[in-house]
Structure 1
């Protein structure tokens, strides 16, 4: 059973970092409502979560806003240092850089370590620690598209730059450079032995680089709400663990220190190779803690571990709460944990049923985030994700094995590629068919009221389909018999909020 203390502390810190000072009121009120339904008020717990919300809010305010030069857009060049691993997308490779010097037509001057999201010239590879002179054009966030600006800001950058050329280069970390070269070698090798979109899909599954997808395939993934398949997420790390489970079955050997150290190192090496994206970082932390707990005979509650891991990430870097990938990963993982059985010795039938139910539950849980961020949603997304789930559980390990073959014994890779090609092509066919079946619904004009109108029934669905609906239903029924007026008072507020939001959506439509 999940620990209310762990869940409360973790959630309070994250909400504090997200909402700031208002969380000092909102979090205790929510806890008080839940305790009221439960039938027991714990003042100590209430005070602790209030302090944790204040801790999260205080940590977020510690990140001061950097002073952006008024003439930054007039800069024609700079001396930069690479601060992050590069990320690859259809638009090219991007990387976070800090400025050491800015160049203008009138001359150069020192810069105050401004963080800029810079797009690299085609074919150029850089690694953390590299420094170089560049010719570029740069735009502060107040002149870029608001949605894109929010994404750039969530990565800690104050501007977007397009680098045209590099010179006077000084190489940084050789370790990171080798990992980046390995990522490109794996991605290029997969696309070489697998034809067309299948190779790009395999590359996206293993490395997160799906830039080779055709425009038609990319649009089909967008229409069906399945772009997360080619994005590096916790499922990639989970699949890596599953491969280790096949190689070293549960038993005495799995508990050997050298084996557990090898598994943990491989997980973190993979997370670094794919760029330490928020979902991969969270999954790597959780996987490491689970393995270490198992060594000492402990089985941590996954939902509590998720809450505390998320809180730790936010305390380390408050920018995580502004990243859509962070929230989608945390919410989807929580929904899946609620349905997937984790007890030892669970058969494949209940496990498969739990995974499929978890995928559906994750779609429900993330729907408000998707609508708020992207403004569109496809009715085919639940069906598409349900059909792709078993296919991906087959394709993921096969693609990882093929990636190892590509690197170690590339001469047999063309033959080995025939095996993962089957689930990959079936997956692409499913996405294309469902993508063409129905256009996505447009919610851009619904606004916050529309998101609230969708979020309330989604929360009700989570409560009904969650891990223990009968238990919570019994608690509510018991409190209804004892305190009907209090239960009505606790439920009438959300109900009125939902009806008001729905009315606003209908009026706008």
Structure 2
């Protein structure tokens, strides 16, 4: 059967090859040595030989051939990467001097400890190692950790000389070792195209420098994936509403660039072959500008595939092209199989070539204007296919995602194309580039406004973490799409389809309501009768005492402004009746600006031991964000109240308050210690007290004091006094600690000590945000569960 209305059957032959190659790559890169790869290769060759001899199973032969090519690629690349004995040196943690080529821009990391230098992480390829008396030539991909000073200005393609120490890398990663780097000894800038690309990137940053903060940070990300200036709060907002794909170089970027090149070539009267040549040159040039790292190369291939698929006119023809691109990319770089970005890129491209056009055509046939139909069909198709995978990284569904993508869609293309034009103009006429960048910046500001507005809406719906969440989101997607299809049929076929659509939507609503109870964040948060909440802020402290319906007392602010702000937002806290900063270590005061921003502040209590430069930063933040709120030093023996919270200050004593040049232990023992009561529930907050500080507080503890909840001192470190907790005998012990930390917190001995008191132990590393609820007579605990959406941010503050 043929004709215009005939359905085109799906060609899934290459799709099976792509799936087989993907599964092979996923398993092979976990143990990439020659032996397991050789065993797999022998089995595949044997199967191929049998199939060829019997002259059957041509499709299976094709699948096995793809798997064999991936296996050979893994073996060859791993052999090349580990030549020179780099894995043995890494296992022995050998120190030496290295030559390397940088293969990514530096990414910021927090300091290892309070007052320490800022750090960066970047990817590089070691080319020479001198260690243990010999020099080896290498081609080993590594991950480099270094102090930011000197390294923050390193760029992709630089050749560097450095000293440092090797360490083993995690299995399954592209890097075969990690390098703890010392100061840079020499840097050699690349010449030719790479230097020109860096000059263009810098030109774009200079061109947007006069613009508002959101445009200044967002436009380079939209154009070339440069997110170095993207504000943290805007980045978080974009993540929450599903717009982060705009700041990563993706297939849509390359499609826009190539499409623009083709359009210009058409205006110039170029023929078909000339247009293809112009498109190819434009694509290669854009890859060089955006840096040819694996993610950009993947985006370039997928963007080209999307363009070919859309140009084919019949979307099913795009499936073999996507599958071929997947096989080619996995043979070139098998480690892509383990990257979420690769999964999402393939799914989004498949959605675009398979569903976007027919769905847009149906919307157009239903009377929707064609431009709006395509603007709706593209994000809906992408969300429908990618949603179950996205939830593995972020266990929630936000209905704002699709409207947000529709609203920003008209601004993305002008921002990208005009921004690219400003980039190309910047070396020739910087002033003209500044003028040209303004309309692109306005588009970027609109995108930022949509992201921030959407993030403020209380529309994020929690779903179970892991595979259960993926199943829930998949089911929701099917139900909502089914309801939409039924509603469309209602216009032509009567009321029963309307009833079917309503039934599907009701089932979807029931699924959303019940899903959080099946896993992930533990039910609705916060519990309505919460009294004390320990916020999960990584390796740091932030404890909230409820003083009113929408007010609280905050004790410490954690290391990160967005993490503590998010915790307070979830609790609905709009006023801080009091803020207590127990001492001036970064993991207790670093998030102060986020805690204060947008909230009224009643009063502030500080540790009397001012430690610079943290104390100076805290006072600047208070002057900027806390208005006229009184700021006083806490004095042992003083009392206070705020709403339903009362407190007595038990420490520090005057000797520590006057200490000159204190060491870290003295700063910990200078912690403000509060004995508080929240609706009759006794709470002791011990800051980072060590043994000596705990003994001094124990001596000041009023006789007969009942403590229901204790915030365990110093993240559960081993420096605890047994008599301190034996005297308190809390019913609940809250340990504020990061999921990964080099300090060994919480110590096993401390957990045993707490167990001996009979306390129920709540840990933010395993339980996420934790809450004590109810009353002194009916004390209960509720945990929210770790939130994978914030895992990367918390991990920045979980090592020491």
Length-normalised TM-score, structure 2: 0.48
Alignment-derived partner of residue 417 in structure 1: 437
- Structure 2 residue aligned with 1:204, among 186, 201, 221? 221
Looking at secondary structure, tell me which structure has more helix per residue.
1
- Of 325, 335, 341, the residue aligned with 1:309 is 325
Range moving further from structure 2, 393-402 or 357-366: 393-402
After TM superposition, give the deviation of residue 432 of structure 1 in Å: 0.7
Q: 1:448 to 1:292 in 2, by over 3 A?
A: closer
User: Where does residue 9 of structure 1 map in the other structure?
Assistant: 17
Deviation readout 1:131-170 (Å, 9 max, x if unpaired):
443134655335xxxxxx87xx1xx103343544222555
Which string of whole-angstrom CA distances, capped at 9 and with x for unpartnered residues, describes residues 254-312 of structure 1?
A: 4254x533331221121122122445424534666799999999999323211111111
* 1:191 match: 208
Unaligned runs of 5+ in 2: 1-7, 29-35, 41-55, 110-119, 490-510, 523-800
Greater shift in the superposed pair: 116-125 or 303-312: 116-125
Q: 2:387 aligned with 1:383, yes or no? A: no
User: Structure 1 CA distance, aligned partners of 2:90 and 2:446?
Assistant: 52
From 58, 61, 65, the equivalent of 2:71 is: 58
Q: 1:46–1:262: structure 2 CA closer, same or farther, 3 Å change rule? A: closer
Hey, what's the Cα distance between the residues in 2 that align with 1:298 and 1:434?
35
RMSD: 4.4
Partner-residue secondary structure (3-state), 2:87: coil
Q: Distance in 2 between matches of 1:458 and 1:298?
A: 25
Contact 1:341 1:350 in 2 (8 A): no
Aligned to 2:153: 124
Instruction: Give the whole-Å Cα distance in 2 for the aligned partners of 1:427 and 1:380.
Output: 14
Which consecutive residues of structure 1, in runs of 5 or more, have no partner in the other structure?
Answer: 25-42, 143-148, 471-497
Q: Deviations over 1:407-451 (max 9, x none)?
A: 3322223333332233222211111111122375566x7333333
Task: Note the alpha carbon deviations across 1:456-476, whole angstroms, 9 max, x for none.
Answer: 55478789999xx99xxxxxx
**Which of 250, 254, 269 lines up with 1:237 in the alignment?**
254
Post-superposition shift, 1:394? 3.4
Q: Structure 2 vs 1, CA of residues 263 and 242 (structure 1 numbering), >3 Å: closer, same or farther?
A: closer
Which structure has the higher relative contact order (CA within 8 Å, separation 6+)? 1
Partner of 2:446: 426
Decide whether the 8 Å contact of 1:12 with 1:53 is kept in 2.
yes
Structure 1, 316-325 or 361-370: larger mean CA deviation: 361-370
After superposition, the Cα gap between the structure-2 partners of 1:320 and 1:391, relative to the gap in structure 1 and judged at 3 Å, is same
- Which residue, 283, 286, 291 being the options, matches 1:267? 283
Pairs within 5 Å for 1:248-327: 248-249=265-266, 253-257=270-274, 259-278=275-294, 280-285=296-301, 301-327=317-343
Residue 98 of structure 1 is aligned with which of 126, 144, 155?
A: 126
Contact 1:68-1:114 at 8 Å conserved across structures: no
Corresponding residue for residue 446 of structure 1: 465
Which residue is 2:548 aligned to?
none
Q: SS in structure 2 opposite 1:124? A: coil
Deviates more, 1:260-269 or 1:221-230: 260-269
Correspondent of 1:405 among 425, 446, 463: 425
Q: Does 1:166 align with 2:195?
A: no
Q: Which residue of 2 aligns with 1:360?
A: 380
SS at match of 1:210: coil
TM-score, structure 1 as length reference: 0.71
1:361-392 CA distance string (max 9 Å, x none): 21222222222234455443233223222332
Q: The residue matched to 1:330 in structure 2 has which SS?
A: helix
Q: For residues 230 and 290 of structure 2, what CA distance do their matches in structure 1 show?
A: 18
Match of 2:385, SS state, is helix
Task: Note the alpha carbon deviations across 1:183-212, whole angstroms, 9 max, x for none.
Answer: 2333x2233243311021111011111121
Alpha-carbon distance change, 387 to 324 in structure 1, aligned in 2, over 3 angstroms: same
- 8 Å CA contact retained: 2:222, 2:416: yes
- Aligned-pair distance for 1:236? 0.9
The aligned length equals 440
